[in-house]
Amino acid sequence: MCSSFERLLIKENEQGRREGKIEGKIEGKIEGKIEGKIEGKAEAVIEFLEEIGEPSDALRKQIMEQKDVKVLSSWLKTAAKSESIAEFEESVGLVQLQ
């Protein structure tokens, strides 16, 4: 037979688990949204570049591996203003090694 104190501890433990699950779900959704936003910006950079040329596989990889949304936002603006892939690469410091 459980004492009142033991029942209280069990109840608090169960409540803590429920709260932990809720927090985990919220954190997962936030992380997913952030990852989606990052991926979307990277894809947009590539789309702008495709309008002015053919980005190399190495450049595509560098863009898709970038995880800083501020950097990607800057690259997106630069890609929209660039007249060539080379101009973009030089402007953002992604000069390709030959």
Q: How far apart are the C-alpha atoms of 3 and 69, rounded to whole Å?
A: 54
Task: Name the region of 82 (left: φ>0; alpha: ψ -120 to 50; beta: rest).
Answer: beta
Q: What's the predicted TM-score (pTM) here?
A: 0.73
Type of residue found at 72: L
Q: How far apart are the C-alpha atoms of 73 and 32, rounded to whole Å?
A: 18
Tens of pLDDT along 1-38?
A: 578 877 777 877 787 778 888 888 888 888 888 899 99
Q: Is 80 exposed, middle or buried (0-12, 13-18, 19+ CB in 10 A)?
A: middle
Tens of pLDDT along 35-80?
A: 999 999 999 999 999 999 999 999 999 999 999 999 999 999 999 9
